């Protein structure tokens, strides 16, 4: 409850900020986009992880106010980048919000941003409950030119049936599989399978949580189209992201 109460005032108190992590092309030459990740630095308790407060916000309507702030902030920063997209996480409740499509469109229009420069990251949880409605929402968003990424892929209740049915641009392989790749055959096999599946369906495949040179090499060989992780950069504040965006990687 304390967190929920604190979150209510966090925006006004200026306790929230966004950091941005580059998503690089497979040859590591080009930054194609940045994932926006929210940070909450409370005056009282110091930093609180979004892994803690997003699920709490998700239990109430605070998620909408928080989500609106995150999107507006990310779109504002995006204006300064040369051509990259920004990839914003949307929780299941945001995605299922009444008139989500109209809401997103209004936000980008207000910011004067091309829809193609916003990637919407959702998890399988967001689309599993009401698959028909989710398919309709994704179709509309994609028709309007937004990019759609399925986040944490492989950890949820994904069915291959769903993957076929949903309008997507990319699959993001959950970092737990990348982490296990060097140690367990099973993880390596899963990573390879996701990459093949993604490509067969005409999707980009983004590997998350890439930390080592060895992982970069294996993922290149496996054919991942994009890479993201501490090996390239931690999530950094907007000014640092801008510096990265304007240089070659």
Quote the least distance from Cβ 105 to ligand G, whole Å: 19
DSSP string spanning 56-86?
Answer: HHHTSTHHHHHHHHHHHHHHHHHTTSSS-EE
User: 211 contacts which partner out of ligand G, Mn ion, Na ion, none, CB within 5 to 8 A by kind?
Assistant: ligand G
Q: Is 15 near Mn ion (CB under 5 A)?
A: no
Tokens of 249: 């990687």
Nearer to ligand G, 113 or 206 (CB): 206
Considering only 91, 137, 158, 215, the residue that binds ligand G (CB under 6 A) is 91
Q: Does 229 bind ligand G (CB under 6 A)?
A: yes
CB of 197 to ligand G, least distance (A): 19
Task: Round to whole Å and give the CA distance between 54 and 51.
Answer: 6
- Beta 46-48 vs 85-89: how paired, if at all? unpaired
| 138, two tokens | 């994704």
**The one segment of 33-41, 81-89, 134-142, 207-215 that binds Na ion by CB under 5 A:** 207-215
CB of 129 to ligand G, least distance (A): 16
152 binds Na ion (CB under 5 A): yes
Which residue minimizes CB distance to ligand G?
A: 229
Contacts from 5-12 at CB under 8 Å and sequence distance 24+?
6/42, 6/44, 7/40, 7/53, 7/56, 7/57, 7/62, 7/66, 8/62, 10/40, 10/42, 11/65, 11/66, 11/69
- What residues numbered 153-182 form the site for ligand G, per CB under 6 A? 175
Which residue lies nearer to Na ion by CB, 113 or 222?
A: 222
Site size with ligand G, rule: CB under 6 A? 22
CA distances from 169 to 5, 113, 190, 240 (A): 37, 19, 20, 27
**Residue 88 contacts by C-beta under 8 Å, 6 or more apart in sequence?**
35, 36, 70, 71, 74, 118, 119, 120, 121
Q: Does 183 bind ligand G (CB under 6 A)?
A: no
When binding is defined by CB under 5 A, the residue of 15, 124, 151, 204 that contacts Na ion is: 151
Question: Can you give the binding site for ligand G, defined by CB under 6 A?
Answer: 21, 36-38, 49-51, 54, 70, 89-91, 151-152, 175, 208-211, 229-230, 235
Q: Which residues bind Mn ion (CB under 5 A)?
A: 89, 121, 151
């Amino acid at each position: 409850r304390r967190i929920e109460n604190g979150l209510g005032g966090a925006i006004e108190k200026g306790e929230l900020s966004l950091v941005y992590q580059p998503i690089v092309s497979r040859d590591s030459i080009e930054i194609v986009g940045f994932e926006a990740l929210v940070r909450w630095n409370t005056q009282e308790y110091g930093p609180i992880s979004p892994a803690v407060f997003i699920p709490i916000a998700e239990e109430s309507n605070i998620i909408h106010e928080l989500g609106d702030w995150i999107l507006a902030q990310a779109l504002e920063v995006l204006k300064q980048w040369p051509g990259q997209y920004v990839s914003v996480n949307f929780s299941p409740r945001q995605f299922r919000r009444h008139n989500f499509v109209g809401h997103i469109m209004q936000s980008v229009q207000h910011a004067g941003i091309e829809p193609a420069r916003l990637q919407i990251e959702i998890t399988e949880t967001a689309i599993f409950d009401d698959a028909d409605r989710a398919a309709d929402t994704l179709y509309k968003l994609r028709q309007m030119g937004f990019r759609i990424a399925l986040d944490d892929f492989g950890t949820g209740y994904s069915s291959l049936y769903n993957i076929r049915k949903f309008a997507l641009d990319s699959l993001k392989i959950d970092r737990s599989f990348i982490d296990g790749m060097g140690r367990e055959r099973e993880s390596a096999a899963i990573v390879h399978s996701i990459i093949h599946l993604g490509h067969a369906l005409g999707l980009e495949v983004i590997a998350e949580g890439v930390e080592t040179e060895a992982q970069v090499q294996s993922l290149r060989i496996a054919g991942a189209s994009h890479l993201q992780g501490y090996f390239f950069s931690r999530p950094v504040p907007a000014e640092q992201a801008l510096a990265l965006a304007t240089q070659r990687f």
